Amino acid sequence: MTDFKVDLDAYFARIGFDGPRTPALDVLTRIILLHQRAITFENLNSFAGLPVVIDPATIENKIIHDGRGGYCHEQNQYLRLVLKALGFDARLRMARVRWMQPPEAMPQRGHMTLNVAVKGIWYLSDVAFGAMTPTAPLRLDTPEEQATPHQTYRVVPIGDALHLEVKLGDNWRPVYSFDSVDYYPVDFEAANWQVSTYPASEFVRNLVVARPTADRRQILNNTLLSIRHPDGAVEKQTLSNVVELRSTLTTMFGIRLPADIKIDHALEGLFQTEGRS
C-alpha cells in the first residue's frame, strides 16, 4: 500500500497532540508519551482467535477510528508512517524479546520497534512493547542511564547487538535486543502471523493489556491487574468476573470493546474453571 497517506489530523486528535509538525526531538518525545497514554497495548484479536491485519489502512481504522489498541506490528508500524510524514528518518527493527527470559535463552526475532534519527543522532522509539515500553525516545549512542517519565533505561552494546535494559529497584532487567539491519513491513508478515495464530504464542494463550498514565503503569495479564508506581511499589488485584473485566478494559484502559461474539467468549472463558491460563 505505497499510496497510503496517514491521517495526521485524526492521529493527533486521538493522542491529544497540538504541537508543531516538525522533525524535532521535542516533537518525537511528546508523541511517544502521548501515544502510549492514549492508545493501549492490547491483543484482544489474537486472544479471541480473530485475525490481526497489519496493512496501514486496517491499522489506522482500528486504532484511530474504532477506539482500539494493538500490539507492536500494528502500533509501531503506524507510528513509523506518522513520523515519516513529519519528515523523520524512521527505520524498522526486528528485536529478540528477552523480557522474562533466562539469560542463556536465544529467542527468535519477532518484536517490531523503530530507530529514529534527529539531527544525526539515532533514538530507539517504541510505543508498543507492553508493560515495559520506554515512554521516551532513548539515544542509541550511549550506554548511560536514561530517565523516562516512568522507568530508567539503558541501551548496552553486547556483541553485534544493542540490548535494551530497564532498571527495576536496584537491578537491571533485559527487555529486548536488536541490530542495525533495516527491515520493511513485508518482513513482519510471517512474524505477525505466527504471533497471532500459533497455539503456543503468548498472545494467543493470554490476554495482555498495558497503558501508562501520568504517574503509573497499568498492566493486565488475563484477570490479574497490576499497578506499578514510580517508586517501584506494585499493587495487584485479581478481577472477579467478566463484568468487572469489561469495565476495566473500557475505563482504565480506554478500549472501545467491539460487539464481537468471539471476544465475548474469550473474555468469559477467563472465568471458567477450564479456561485458558
Residues annotated as catalytic are 72, 111, 126
Can you read off the three cell numbers belonging to residue 68? 482500539
**Residue tagged 489502512 (cell numbers):** 57
Q: Which helix (H) or strand (E) holds 262?
A: helix 261-269
Residue 23: what residue type?
A: P
Q: Tell me phi and psi for residue 135, to 5 degrees.
A: -95, 25
Residue 172, C-alpha cell as written in the block: 537491571
Distance CA 11, CA 86 (A): 12
Sheet with strand 146-147: strands edge to edge? 138-139, 121-124, 109-118, 89-97, 171-178, 161-168, 152-158, 146-147
* Gap between the Cα atoms of 226 and 247, Å rounded: 15
User: Looking at the chain, how many residues does it have?
Assistant: 277
Cell of 268: 468469559
- Torsion, CA 7, CA 52, CA 186, CA 155, rounded to 10: 80
Q: How far apart are the first and last CA of the chain?
A: 38
> Strand 217-221 and strand 121-124: pairing?
unpaired
